[in-house]
Structure 1
Amino acid sequence: MEAPICLVENSNRELMVNQQALQILTSITKPPVVVVAIVGPYHTGKSYLVNKLAGKKSGFSLGSTVQSHTKGIWMWCVPHPTKPNHTLVLLDTEGLGDVEKGDNKNDTWIFTLAVLLSSTLVYNSMGTINQQAMDQLHYVTELSERIKSKSAPNIDEAENSSDFVTFFPDFVWTVRDFTLELEMNGKPITSDEYLEIALKPKKGKPEEVRMFNLPRQCICQFFPKKKCFIFDRPTERKKLSQLEKLHDSELEPEFVEQVESFCSYIFQHSNVKTLQGGITVNGPRLENLILTYVEAITSGEMPCMENAVLALAQMENSAIVQRALTHYEEIMIKRVQFHTETLQELLDIHAICESEAIEVFIKNSFKDVDQKFQKELVKILEAKRDAFCQQNQNESTKQCRALLQDIFSPLEEAVKNGDFSKPGDYGLFLQKTKELKQKYYQQPRKGIQAEEILQEYLKSKEGVADAILQADHSLSAKEWDIEVERVKTQAAEAAARQLEEMQKKTLEIIEQNERSHREHINQLTQKMETERKQLIEEQKNNLALKLQQQEQLITFGFQNESEELKNQIKALENRLSESQKRRRGCVIC
């Protein structure tokens, strides 16, 4: 992208997704995306920082008047400067608190979308991190009322928000035009320590300190990792409106160094956007998330992170089923270039190709609830196997009939010419038939229908053989009776062999189905084990963060606040215990 483009339009207090922007995301199929969104009050210099992340002096519009410039959410996709084969997606949002808008409902939704879509959320403010700055960040306190982590009904607010830390982005607070000394009790402190102190709750009666502590508690509880950067004023006031045109040499050296430090941190530490279960997000997945969340917002519903993942899974798993089927057909056609000699040979090839197709599905699918899509894939693969078996049979039938016609046509011509009408010719006819049958058996690559088509041909010529027998008066009555009985016995034996062959084929199909089922169970078990490990790891990380938050509160002397975390911690411990039990139970099975 040479320049940013509007991703979500905020027009007449309605949010609309820009289709042209979605087409750009659709094209980013393979590279995973690192999504950095910047939010904050209008006219705090957000766009300047995002342009720097894009490696450009200009791009996102910098407002130089009292009127807010950026409307909605704008997107700029660029190659990641430090991570090969990754795409950096930069989201610049309209300024929060614009007096022209009249109400802040859309501000809340813009902030919410930035949280839901990003892997790193940058909150940009001016001056210092004081109570006014916290009041401006009231949007974070409304997230539990705007977002659902799970689709389960009757989930309370505490349980809902306890999962946010698992899904939410890293949080970076950038403070512009910072004029204070980074010092506490006469000792220098880092910007991160400054943020930690600013987020420290106030002691007092709950009803008196609630509004002071709430945004601080939400930031601490919702966001897994927090970072702070402070920036000096970039240049003298009269030049600020021309900031994007100024060379670094015209800016304050400390400011240039601070911006470089900020960009370096974002490039090195911002993670790939992932969903629950460690699902890596690329362009099309980000596109679907945007559509799902905006649709929920415009319809008056609460965006649900779990539902968004499930909706994405439904769409992608359906496409992955088709991809697996295409893979199966391609390698089957390649490996079965001609019909096979036996059914078992074809079934062995099918088993290999089927296993590869299932592997393609399992490797790329996610959130396949009740294995709906895998069962669908297995069902279609069985139908395709049967189709290949039928095609294999048809090809063999076609070749065998052509071969029999080629081998037996001289004999048929001789019969038409009356060459077997003399006494004693019946024996000659039988001898000739035997020789031609032997010639037929010696021909290679006849396939699975070789015997059946031969018997079908011989049965069709029984009338000819019987006529020659009837005409051969050299046979005695006893010899004639013996020959008739031999023909009957031969026909019965052929029918028995044919029945045995059909039973053998049926048994081979049954055995292949059983092997296939065992293979599916094995592959599915491995997939479920991997997903359980991922879930347990997420739950452990969530629990560790909650315990860390509780420890900090106790260290600061906030016993009452730490008690509020106990229920969340207890619920997380129970869920972790259940997950570990299910994992052990699965392994035992």
Structure 2
Amino acid sequence: MIFSCMMAPGQVHMAAPICLIENNPDGKLVVNQEAAEVLAGIRQPVVVVAIAGLYRTGKSYLMNRLAGKRKGFCLGTTVQALTKGIWMWCLPHPYRSDLSLVLLDTEGLGDVQKGNTQNDSWIFALAILLSSTLVYNSMGTIDQNALENLHYVTELTKKIKAKASSGEDTEEENSAEFVRFFPDFIWAVRDFTLQLEIDGQPITEDGYLENALRLRKGDTEQIQKFNVPKSCIRKFFPSRKCFTFDRPANKKNLHQLEHLEEDDLEEDFLEPVGRFCQHIWETSRPKTVPGGQVVTGRMLEKLLKIYVDAINSGDVPCLENAVLALSEIENAAAVHEAVSCYEELVGKQLALPTDTVDELLAVHAECEKAANAVFMARAFGIMHVKKFQEDLELQLKQKKEELCQRNEQVSFDRCNNVLVELYRKLEAGVHMGIYSAPGGYQRYLENWNEMVEEYRSVPRKGIQADCALEEFQKSKETVAKSLLQMDCALTAQEKELEAQRAQAEAVQLQQNLLEQKQAQLKQMMEDEKRSHDEQLQLLREKMEKEKKMLEEETERMIQHKLKEHELLLKEGFQRKAREMESEIQRLKEEKKSFPWEQVLSLVGDLIPAMLSLAHLATVSGAGSTPKRSNK
């Protein structure tokens, strides 16, 4: 059972953590469906903080502090590792109501009882792929032994693929893209007792980490092996920070850490813990995927399943493929959500029949605008949005056509009912023979005109008022002609003139109806143009937004690599610096060469093609008449 409750819309507050990924004895990873459903219920962007490190190093306690609790994730008190797989705790963000905080506590690495290092590597890779901030937790000091324990970083090039290239990309080319989506990196050093100084000069915790990551000069195999984990951390994680913690309490109380009050804990432990939590709460970014798209809880749930399915099938998780699959799922869902929004708003705002076509089109335009906003807010990937936008536009156009047809039918039925009711008096007179006497036709004509005036005064008849009257008048032509021929008070010439007058009146009414249809057709075409102009503008804005996000992402990569390039030169690694220059140049060219104009031209092609389809559809329905009620 999951002890969770909904807070603000799309926000979840879990009272306790739950296993998100189960680590089966056979090495298969299984997504816990209950936990996945909780994650899928979060519609807000998520800040995802994952912690990794060797087993029995106190990872879970730090995560409980981030949750603002003393208890939650299980704390082990023996040499046996307790956390298996990956556990999740979803909470409202402590500082931002528009974000949710997702904490991931991973299975301890290096558990001797497990005997499956590949499984450890996959758990670590998932922590990288899912998080926006990764905390690596270790004991003692950042020395070569601690760096070698972080050998999982060096294996990431074999566990994660950035692009689904048709060519054979080298590991270096693949890993060069890691900066685009890797999380911020925090090294938490526990039970740290050394003085923070080098050569007698005090240094900061961050300075301590950067000094530990300095490369050693030399080309021997031993030195290269020594430099590998340092190079990987420097290359993959542009944002790095370090926190050092003293022991939380004396040795005899460590086994009951979660039960200790604040006063029982060491000040040298509490102070950095406070800074650690504050730093993560204040600076951790929402999770994003390549391209800068912010990830919600429901998107993270889908990514999680994509990654786990890839791992279990023996493949290497590919970011490009995962983002493409995610965009297909999200864009399809965005279309469905937008259509549902349109239907709901139309149901609330539109009362049929409307007096004019303009009235209906105004409501349609407002509801369509809201639906498009819903779609654009959720859809992403400008290269993939176009086909889903076309689908949405087609569906909304069909909804509008159905609405227009229903509006006409409701109007026609209402008008016909009114006419049938008003005609009852005339019909009774016909049956009683009142209009069969000499002068009866003139009396019938007067009563008919009185009925028409009364009919025209009835409110809210809708746009089919004249059409219904014309149809009704046609249905009574036989009665009128019969009465005219029976009226012996009229000469043959008078009867002929009256017949011509009635025919001319019918022709004029038909002409009026034709002009109304043409005016309505023009209104529909203008509305189609308005709709397409707005859609084009929305797509342009979407493209500009995604262009800006991609450029900012690429610029961050360039700045990080420039910083690393400068550091390599300073440390005397000329060859590595030249390799970094090549990466920087490639990124600059990539930033310039992305075919934004080509994408925009594809977007612009939507307009004439869709307008032509709209014109054909509207013209084909221009001459239709609603079905008469059989009354």
TM-score normalized with structure 2 length: 0.87
Letter matched to residue 442 of structure 2: G
The aligned counterpart of 1:101 is 114
Q: Which moved further from structure 2: 521-530 or 429-438? A: 429-438
Instruction: Answer whether contact 1:166 1:538 (CA < 8 A) is retained.
Output: yes
SS in structure 1 at match of 2:223: helix
Q: For residues 455-504 of structure 1, what are the alpha-carbon distances to aligned partners after superposition, in whole Å with 9 as ceiling and x for unaligned? A: 11111111111111221233333333323333333333333333333333
CA drift at 1:389:
0.9
Q: For residues 317-358 of structure 1, what are the alpha-carbon distances to aligned partners after superposition, in whole Å with 9 as ceiling and x for unaligned? A: 333323222222232233322311222331232122212211
The aligned counterpart of 1:149 is 162
Whole-Å Cα distance in 2 between the matches of residues 568 and 345 of structure 1? Answer: 58
Match for residue 242 of structure 2 among 219, 228, 242:
228
Whole-Å Cα distance in 2 between the matches of residues 83 and 537 of structure 1? Answer: 23
RMSD over aligned Cα, in angstroms?
2.5
2:359 matches 1:345: yes
The aligned counterpart of 2:173 is 159
2:501 matches 1:461: no
2:215 matches 1:193: no
The aligned counterpart of 2:574 is 559
The aligned counterpart of 2:79 is 66
Whole-Å Cα distance in 2 between the matches of residues 15 and 175 of structure 1? Answer: 29
CA drift at 1:411:
1.4
Percent of pairs identical after alignment? 48
Whole-Å Cα distance in 1 between the matches of residues 482 and 599 of structure 2? Answer: 76
Instruction: Answer whether contact 1:400 1:449 (CA < 8 A) is retained.
Output: yes
TM alignment of 1:250-289, pairs within 5 A: 250-289=264-303
SS in structure 1 at match of 2:374: helix
Whole-Å Cα distance in 2 between the matches of residues 79 and 104 of structure 1? Answer: 35
Q: Which moved further from structure 2: 572-581 or 158-167? A: 572-581
Q: 1:80 to 1:466 in 2, by over 3 A?
A: closer
Whole-Å Cα distance in 2 between the matches of residues 221 and 583 of structure 1? Answer: 33
Instruction: Answer whether contact 2:536 2:603 (CA < 8 A) is retained.
Output: no
Whole-Å Cα distance in 2 between the matches of residues 255 and 467 of structure 1? Answer: 107
TM alignment of 1:302-381, pairs within 5 A: 302-367=316-381, 369-381=384-396
SS in structure 2 at match of 1:204: coil
CA drift at 1:396:
1.0
Q: 1:406 to 1:181 in 2, by over 3 A?
A: same
CA drift at 1:172:
0.7
CA drift at 1:575:
1.3
Q: 1:167 to 1:450 in 2, by over 3 A?
A: same
CA drift at 1:34:
2.1
The aligned counterpart of 1:402 is 417
Whole-Å Cα distance in 2 between the matches of residues 57 and 426 of structure 1? Answer: 97
Match for residue 425 of structure 1 among 440, 444, 452:
440
The aligned counterpart of 2:89 is 76
CA drift at 1:228:
1.0
Whole-Å Cα distance in 2 between the matches of residues 250 and 531 of structure 1? Answer: 51
Q: For residues 138-182 of structure 1, what are the alpha-carbon distances to aligned partners after superposition, in whole Å with 9 as ceiling and x for unaligned? A: 111111221122333324433322221121111011122223322
Whole-Å Cα distance in 2 between the matches of residues 159 and 586 of structure 1? Answer: 31
Whole-Å Cα distance in 2 between the matches of residues 61 and 440 of structure 1? Answer: 79
The aligned counterpart of 2:455 is 440
The aligned counterpart of 2:611 is none
Whole-Å Cα distance in 1 between the matches of residues 129 and 342 of structure 2? Answer: 37
TM-score normalized with structure 1 length: 0.93
Letter matched to residue 559 of structure 2: A
CA drift at 1:265:
2.1
Whole-Å Cα distance in 1 between the matches of residues 483 and 305 of structure 2? Answer: 81
The aligned counterpart of 1:524 is 539
Whole-Å Cα distance in 2 between the matches of residues 370 and 5 of structure 1? Answer: 35
The aligned counterpart of 1:183 is 197
CA drift at 1:206:
6.7
SS in structure 1 at match of 2:285: coil
Q: 1:439 to 1:116 in 2, by over 3 A?
A: same
Gaps of 5+ in 1: none
Q: 1:131 to 1:487 in 2, by over 3 A?
A: same
Q: 1:352 to 1:135 in 2, by over 3 A?
A: same
Instruction: Answer whether contact 1:532 1:579 (CA < 8 A) is retained.
Output: no
Whole-Å Cα distance in 1 between the matches of residues 160 and 199 of structure 2? Answer: 40
CA drift at 1:586:
7.3
2:128 matches 1:121: no
Letter matched to residue 228 of structure 1: C
Gaps of 5+ in 2: 1-13, 605-631
Letter matched to residue 88 of structure 2: M
2:143 matches 1:130: yes
CA drift at 1:238:
4.6
CA drift at 1:208:
5.0
Q: 1:180 to 1:334 in 2, by over 3 A?
A: closer
TM alignment of 1:547-586, pairs within 5 A: 547-579=562-594, 582=597
Whole-Å Cα distance in 1 between the matches of residues 98 and 502 of structure 2? Answer: 75
Q: For residues 24-65 of structure 1, what are the alpha-carbon distances to aligned partners after superposition, in whole Å with 9 as ceiling and x for unaligned? A: 3234334x3322111111222222222222233333233333
Q: For residues 176-197 of structure 1, what are the alpha-carbon distances to aligned partners after superposition, in whole Å with 9 as ceiling and x for unaligned? A: 2223322212211112111111
CA drift at 1:225:
0.6
SS in structure 2 at match of 1:366: coil
Q: 1:165 to 1:236 in 2, by over 3 A?
A: same
SS in structure 2 at match of 1:101: coil
Q: Which moved further from structure 2: 311-320 or 40-49? A: 311-320
Q: For residues 432-471 of structure 1, what are the alpha-carbon distances to aligned partners after superposition, in whole Å with 9 as ceiling and x for unaligned? A: 3223223322333221111111111111111111111221
2:492 matches 1:449: no
Instruction: Answer whether contact 1:33 1:87 (CA < 8 A) is retained.
Output: yes
Instruction: Answer whether contact 2:52 2:105 (CA < 8 A) is retained.
Output: yes
Q: 1:334 to 1:266 in 2, by over 3 A?
A: closer
Q: For residues 112-137 of structure 1, what are the alpha-carbon distances to aligned partners after superposition, in whole Å with 9 as ceiling and x for unaligned? A: 01111111111112222222211111
Tell me how many residue pairs correspond in the alignment. 588
